[in-house]
Amino acid sequence: MLLLEDRVAPADATAHSSRPPPHLPSHQLQVTWTTRCSSMRCSARLGSSDGQKQRAGWGVQAALKDTPGGRRLVTPPLSRPTTTARRNAITSASQMSTDQPHLYWRSPIGFGPTPSPRQKPDGGRFDYNDAETLIADVICKVPIALVQDLLPPDFVALAQNGEAITTVTIQVMRLSNLPWLAGRGYDTLGVYFNNVAYRPAADASDPGAEISAQSGSFLAVLFENLCDPIVTGREELGFPKVFADLAGGFARSEETDEETTFNFTASTFAHDFLTLSIPGLTAVPPSTPSPLFDAANETRHHSRDETLTHRFVPAVGAPKRGREPDADYAVFVGPAPVPPLLKQHWQSDQLDGVDVRVRPASFQQAPTLHHIIGGLDTLDLGT
């Protein structure tokens, strides 16, 4: 059964009770339309706006001003900091863990702290209550060996229900009315390996050692169609984000003139490398239980469990370049502390009609993504 949900509770992936052979992946779907951005699951990292101090002469205040064209947000020009203030800012940025640990800094640091989903221009927190997110999940059964081949060292794919298979979640998100983008939005396409454990070698100096007992869903790659969240997510969260052109939405049925199919396409340089189609959708009450949350199933899902990933930042210049990275460790992000509010909910019983296709690409077709696309193709996600 396919499910499109419109509720606040996070989406959870489960497998079907009748399991096909490993080479015939089954699919499950959940789509939610929420009133809060799913990135609020990282809200534990957001700094408090209480007692904020301006750093090195930088500070931004904004106000609504009535103009002939209506009300608009007015941001006064920044006063130019002195040379001494610049030096102090650069020095302070390297000490932010002990000075103001709630502030996020990103290059170029000479201009002061950087706004992001987790930080307003004044250093406070954004209110995501009016943000909306459309989420569609398709869960595919995949041989465990294929997933293990794509995991970094120290991560282990776990068998599901005692079988040599696991599940992979393909998640589409359409985020809108985001306060950190001044009401704008963007789309994402994430690939998650469910039921993964982090088991590092014993090394007290390993930053990931503190989460050695964690397991959950491993974020393999997150495609996004806007540069700003890619930069903030890679640098502040350690998420493996890359750019892709993403497009899609609901399509109307020629027979009923109702929106009964959800289609989505990911492409790069006009090459469609992943397509998703979910037919037979009908509206159901928001309180309808989701088959993705079947307690009898062992599948983990990042919306309710932990998200694991791996951060890697190469070093710049000799002698470390190519030998010793600047960052190379596991990352753990917990689920949302408060589930979003559900607005709409759809489901479908046309499971056989769900279509997920990955089209491999050559270097000429996808010069910067062909290796990632090729890895996804090895998972044999297609129906």
Residue 359 pLDDT grade (very low, low, confident, very high; cuts 50, 70, 90): very high
Per-residue CA distances from 60 to 38, 52, 76, 101, 128 (Å): 27, 12, 7, 19, 20
Q: Worst-scoring range by mean pLDDT, 59-63, 256-260, 372-376? A: 59-63
Could you tell me if 197 and 178 are in contact, meaning their C-beta atoms sit under 8 angstroms apart?
no
Closest by alpha carbon to 262, among 247, 274, 278, 275? 278
More confident residue, 362 or 114: 362
> What is the average per-residue pLDDT within 155-166?
86
pLDDT score of 344: 82
More confident residue, 71 or 84: 84
The more confidently predicted of residues 52 and 115 is 115
Q: What percentage of the chain has pLDDT greater than the value 70?
A: 65
Q: What is the pLDDT of residue 80?
A: 43
Domain spans of the chain?
2-42+124-377
User: Mean pLDDT lowest for which of 78-92, 148-162, 231-245?
Assistant: 78-92
| Mean pLDDT, residues 306-321 | 88
| Mean pLDDT, rounded, for 180-185 | 96
State the number of CA atoms in the 13 A half-sphere of 178 facing the CB. 23
Give me the percent of the chain exceeding a pLDDT of 90: 38
| Count of residues making up the chain | 383
> What CATH number labels 2-42+124-377?
2.40.400.10
Average pLDDT of the chain to the nearest whole number? 73
How many beta carbons lie within 10 A of that of residue 210, not counting itself?
Answer: 10
Residue 155 pairs with which residues in a beta bridge? 198
Whole-prediction pTM: 0.73
At 172, the pLDDT band (50, 70, 90 cuts) reads very high
